[in-house]
Structure 1
Amino acid sequence: MSLPLEEYGFIGNTQTACLISRDGSADWLCLPRFDSAACFAALLGEPEHGRWSLAPAGRHAQTARGYLGDSLVLATDFTADGGEVRVVDCMPVDTGNDRLIRRVEGLRGSVEMETELRLRFDYGLSEPWLRRDGNRVLAIAGPHTVVVDSPVPLRTQDGVLSGRFRVAAGEVADLCLTYLRPDESASRISPAAAIGRTREWWQSWADQCTVDGPYRAPLIRSLLTLKALTYAPSGGIVAAPTTSLPERLGGVRNWDYRYCWIRDATFALLAFLDAGYKQEAVAWREWLLRAVAGSPEQMQIMYGVYGDRRLTEVSLDWLPGYAGSTPVRIGNAAARQLQLDVHGELMDALHQARASGIEPDPEAWLVQRKLLDFLESHWSEPDEGIWEMRGPHRHFTHSKVMAWVAADRAVKDVERFDMDGPIDRWRRLRADIFEEVCANGYDPDRNTFTQSYGSPEVDAALLLMAPVGFLPARDSRIAGTVTAVEEDLCRDGFVHRYRHKPHTKVDGLPAGEGAFLAASFWLADNYLLRGDVDRARATFERALSVGNDLGLFAEEYDIDGARQVGNFPQAMSHLYLVNTALNLTQVTGPARHRAEDRRR
């Protein structure tokens, strides 16, 4: 039976990540990078699809867990017959190889431990050949080599490494898994020193945060999560370290999120900048420019961690899926969709970088001009929208609003920064888009903007209209839209992306999903922008309350089941948590900064 996502902790080394359950089982790990094939895929199947369990033998209980300080070093305490032990899990950031260290520390008495390591490469499909090399065990399958170091004897049988050992108070046992690329060799390290340096590295990074106040703790944890989801060699931020965790248990909305979405560009940049992390903002800006280089007609909504374009979607039919949710997918066909809003996001991100004093890149303005040329001829076309609907193209209101953002930021770049461009033509474009949205995307009878032209429905993306500066939050049309979202999409204070009618395929797929956590933060931002601080704070804190005990959030929340659903941890949820926390903490947070930019 699949464990609730809340049961999992998350560790990483800014190149890949591992999910470890409360009971000591590492159930998801892709090596050597986020979007590589998993060698632990039990999260989407069974133990035989790959995992590493480490816990007291026999009856025991997990009594406490938490990160050591502001780090991604995870400590889990167990009580068992004979005493108490702590398991410290760490992926070092500076040892030259990709490693997972699992240290057992005796705290009280003497405890017998049990470990079982099943390496199964290619998402649980390939069982490696195991051979011994002194005290080491090598697991080899094609291009993959993993070295396992253990101070205790491990048995090898049927492709499984297992063993029992006893740890008394004051004793430690360090088990280490090292992944080798074909051209690498395994260096010898001190696990204790590697854990200490890794904890210090994360703590030092967290200490750079310039924000204080009542939400500093969840803000720091979310920033650490976003940093851990950043692929350090390129600066790209993956949406999640997982694939195919369902938006509804047993459903088919199971997508691969181990890629970098352009859509998160502006808020990611502003979140890092406003929290004091200029280096991360610059790295993200550079990744954006590299990824979208080329013809604007070929711009994708997402890319691989290096800017890879080919993200072919296939199903893995040998995996039964999380909670029986199939198909299990890798790759993402939505990469080829036409989603016009991402052009506005990219334009805004590059504008905000320039406005924030990031040293300009001479190529950035050339990219922006090409994007505007493309939007001038395509903004009036229907597209597939922010929710990546796999159905007919429509004139989505949010897409048009973001096309307006693109034109608006281009005009401001010319006005404020003396950039070269046809400003009169862009002003007309901005005005034309604004007038069309207000005429065709607005329902005067109900006093609300709508999901698409001519539709009676609303969707959560309309909550971004005020934060991006299209209209002030106090405008009667925005207020009416917020009310419509509250009436149609809110339940128990949580916001769904759009309305699902039973037995329909509103977006080409069967109905049913959880509330979209980022949208609750968007709702809080709207309350805040119109001056209702108490309601904003209550909405924000309600969303905060559904994170797990480690401060981690998935993409969605199943209200009936009272559990998180969707890929985990989800960058978008943590990103907007950071932004709303900054909005509630600072005089000019990201939402105010972006919205008030309209009046300058």
Structure 2
Amino acid sequence: MERHTYQTGIIGNCSFIAHVHENTNIAWMCWPQFDSSFIFGSLLDQEKGGEFSVLPSDNYFTKQYYIENTNILCTEVTTSKGKYRITDFAPRFSQYERFFKPLMLIRKIEPLEGDPHIKITCNPVYDYGKVQLEKVRGSNHIEYIGCEEKVRLSTNVSLSYLFEEKYFVLKTEKYLVLTFGNPLEAPIETTCESFLSKTKHYWRTWIKHSSIGEFYQEYVIRSALALKLHQFEDTGAIIAASTTSLPESPGSGRNWDYRYCWLRDTFYVMNALNHIGHFEETEKYFDYMTNVSYDSGLRYQPLYSITREKNLIENIADHLTGYLGNTPVRIGNQAYEHIQNDIYGQALISLLPLYCDHRFVFSERKDSATLVEFALKKIEHTIDEKDAGIWEFRNSAFMHCYSNLFQWAGCSAAAKIARTINNEELEERAIALMKRAAQHIENCYDPEREVYTHAVGSPYLDASTLQLIMMNYLDPNSDRAKKHLMALEKELKTPNGLFYRYLHTDDFGQPKATFLICAFWYVEALACVGRLDDAIVQFEKLMKYCNHLKLFSEDIDETTGSQWGNFPQAYSHVGLMNAAHRISTKLNRPLYL
């Protein structure tokens, strides 16, 4: 069977993300926010998803690549008549002491060889493809009418060619500027070139200011750039992915909307950002978490929208055919109703760097005790109850090892913060809760197999318990840690180094695809227990599962190596960054030597 990979790259500016297909089409783009309706959505429906392509009149092949150390994407198209390049980007740069990041997509088209004969098609849609926008001709632009704001295409291309979708010979550079809301009211050519230059400078400076070790540096750089795009800067939220309903495996029905912020990802995302030294993003994410804390009551939800909306009601868009015919297409995510008790510990761990890393001035934070108190109360309220767990089982509840582990780790973080702010009462409460969480964890231990199972009273193994080692609940040098790891790899690891989350039947049957983040956790666990050579070998095996742009999906089919699940998956890129950092730290060698 042929290997399936996603044939798109992403561009964005922390206001929106667009997927550019190798065939030049904008295959997915939601406006005005990550979780808004798509403007272009052929990823989920070729007919109803609209189109924004720049195609030749004859047969062609393409080559796609990022301008080095940026989120600017180039697609070179070669035909018998000539060759041309499309440079796609979303403007982002510093201006007036803040970042300029408009709802603006710019496409620069330039001839490279011969006389390419091209046609530009721009037909945006709205309300998830239910509304075809009406075209209205302007002086040097086309207005698209039918959604909540003005959508305008400003260009130096003949409007007649655009309106009638006619082919023309590309002789000089052309620019397409698509805007939502405020249109471009400036010279087209000089403005686009200026925005391109400034955006390139912004991304390259951002990377220069990143602390990235030498181990697989190019992959870590691309992962860092991809993760950055997944932060909605206005609120600080970081989404799991910019897509919805790309199936975990074909025909599985496991098609989810991932355009939201999961609290379960907090610890891993914070780690990744801290490892590369980007504190601005960390602080913005912290502010988002703080606001979630203050309006959450006794419980956090597992996920929120990027604007902290709580009701993420799941609807089926049955008018869409789905990715490669895979239905249902889901808008919203029912998991917001679930009980997921690891997230309180995640919240506390996320606060820890702000009080233990002296690059942050914790004395300026007047809400320290209140925030810790909030989270500890939530742990006290939930520590003895069953939940849906990290994998969000829809029809079953357990006393999950992973949930109690993060309650234990969260209370450990709370105790450290309490010591920093000299609050003995909070410290004592945190330590007492740590002991209660540890007892639940020990109730998951199977002494005969010498392994921790996924839940109290359950025989099943789960990759999430790898975190017992990384979180230092188990001493990585201990026999118990090493034997736990061996038991997990014996049951859940594939010959190619991939890792299943679990193999028992869940609400949708037995999982068919491996979960990429689990394979990166496995790499980290190997490094932790001293099996560094094994960790490097396994990490290197995982690098082949990216697409042509070093972007990784959520799931991998272990038989074919195919990419599945939402794409690109922030979780997978975070896993790569953290695993590479773990190995770099263990290698402990000078850069470039």
Indicate the SS of the match to 1:434.
helix
Q: Is the 8 A contact 1:153 1:163 kept in 2?
A: no
Task: Look up the match of 1:406.
Answer: 410
Cα 1:426–1:191 shift into 2, 3 Å: closer
Equivalent residues of 1:154, 1:162 under 8 A apart: no
Q: Deviations along 1:394-440, whole A, 9 cap, x unmatched? A: 111111111111222222223344235343343232123213321x2
**Contact 1:147–1:178 (8 Å) recurs in 2:** yes
Partner of 1:531: 530
Residue 497 (1) aligns with residue 501 (2): yes
Structure 2 residues without counterparts, runs of 5 or longer:
94-99, 589-593
In the TM superposition, what are the counterparts of 1:275-294 in structure 2 within 5 Å? 275-294=276-295
**Which position in structure 1 is the counterpart of 2:488?**
485
**Contact 2:440/2:456 (<8 A) preserved:** no
* Structure 1 counterpart SS, 2:398: coil
Distance 1:151 1:365 in 2: 58
Corresponding residue number in structure 1 for 2:96: none
Q: Residues 132, 531 of structure 1: CA spacing in aligned structure 2 closer, same or farther, 3 A cutoff?
A: same
Q: Offset at 1:551? A: 1.1
In 2, the alpha carbon distance for the partners of 1:142 and 1:79 equals 36
Aligned to 1:135: 140
Residue 108 of structure 1 corresponds to: 113
Name the structure 2 match of 1:564: 563
Does residue 427 of structure 1 match 2:437?
no
Change (3 A) 1:131 1:4: farther
Q: Is the CA contact 1:495–1:519 (under 8 Å) kept in the aligned structure 2? A: yes
- AA partner of residue 117 (structure 1): C
Distance change (3 Å), C-alpha of 1:90 and 1:417? same
- Aligned to 1:353, what secondary structure does the other structure show? helix
Note the 1:349-388 alignment, pairs <5 A.
349-357=350-358, 358-360=360-362, 361-388=365-392
CA deviations over 1:102-128 (Å, ceiling 9, x no partner) = 111111111111222221111111011
Determine if contact 1:116/1:161 at 8 Å carries over to the other structure: no
**CA shift at 1:3, angstroms?**
11
Give 1:391's match in structure 2, choosing from 377, 392, 395. 395
For 2:344, the equivalent position in structure 1 comes to 343
Q: Structure 1 residue 583: deviation in Å? A: 1.1
Q: TM-score, normalised by structure 2?
A: 0.93
Distance 1:446 1:112 in 2: 67
| Structure 1 unaligned regions, length at least 5 | 501-505, 590-600
Checking the alignment, whether the CA contact within 8 Å between 2:72 and 2:88 is kept in structure 1 is yes
Distance 1:509 1:201 in 2: 44
Which amino acid is 2:185 matched to?
A: S
Contact 1:296-1:370 at 8 Å conserved across structures: no
Cα offset, 1:186, TM superposition:
3.9
Deviations 1:119-170 (A, max 9, x none): 111111101121111121100104132111232334599xx862322124xx
Equivalent in the alignment of 1:517? 516
Q: Indicate the residue corresponding to 1:545 in structure 2.
A: 544
Kindly provide the amino acid, as one letter, of the partner of residue 463 in structure 1.
Answer: L
Residue aligned with 1:371, SS: helix
Tell me how far apart the structure 2 counterparts of residues 9 and 213 of structure 1 sit (CA, whole Å).
24
Of 562-571 and 301-310, the range deviating more from structure 2 = 301-310
- Structural mapping, 1:116-265, within 5 Å: 116-154=121-159, 162-168=165-171, 171-180=172-181, 184-188=182-186, 189=188, 190-265=191-266
1:473 to 472, 476, 479: 476
For the 8 Å contact 2:41–2:129, the answer to whether it is kept is yes
Per the normalisation by structure 1, the TM-score is: 0.92
Equivalent position SS for 2:144: strand
Shift of 1:96: 6.2
Instruction: Give SS of 2:74's match.
Output: strand
**Secondary structure of 2:395 counterpart:** coil
- Residue 450 (structure 1) aligns with: 453
Distance 1:236 1:264, change over 3 A: same
Change (3 A) 1:354 1:402: same
Distance (Å, rounded) in 1 between the aligned partners of 2:377 and 2:230: 33
Supply the AA of the counterpart residue of 2:433.
Answer: L
CA–CA separation in structure 1 for the residues paired with 2:117 and 2:174 = 12
Question: Aligned pair in 2 of structure 1 residues 509, 155: CA closer, same or farther (>3 Å)?
Answer: farther
What are the Cα deviations for residues 189-242 of structure 1, in whole angstroms up to 9, with x where unaligned? Answer: 522222221111111111111223132211111111111111111111111111
Q: Tell me what 1:507 maps to.
A: 506
Q: Indicate whether 1:578 and 2:581 are aligned.
A: no
Distance of 2:467 and 2:459 partners within structure 1: 19
Counterpart secondary structure, 2:150: strand
Residue identity matched to 2:561: A
Shift of the 535–267 alpha-carbon distance from structure 1 to 2, 3 Å rule, reads same
Residue 42 of structure 2 is aligned to residue 42 of structure 1: yes
| Amino acid across the alignment from 1:114 | K
| Aligned residue identity for 2:333 | N
- SS of 1:77 mapped into structure 2: strand
Q: CA deviation at 1:311?
A: 1.2
Q: Which amino acid aligns with 2:194?
A: A
Name the residue aligned to 2:97. none
* CA separation of 1:364 and 1:549: change in aligned 2, threshold 3 A: farther
Q: Closer, same or farther in 2 for the Cα pair 1:364/1:321, shift >3 Å? A: farther
Distance, in Å, in 2 between the alignment partners of 1:323 and 1:294 is: 40
What is the letter of the counterpart of residue 90 of structure 2? M
Amino acid corresponding to residue 76 of structure 1 in structure 2:
T
Name the aligned partner's letter for residue 387 of structure 2.
D
Name the structure 2 match of 1:592: none
Q: Which residue of 2 aligns with 1:330?
A: 331
C-alpha distance 409-161 of structure 1, shift in aligned 2 (>3 A): farther
Whole-Å Cα distance in 2 between the matches of residues 83 and 376 of structure 1? 68
Q: Measure, in 2, the Cα distance between the counterparts of 1:161 and 1:67.
A: 32
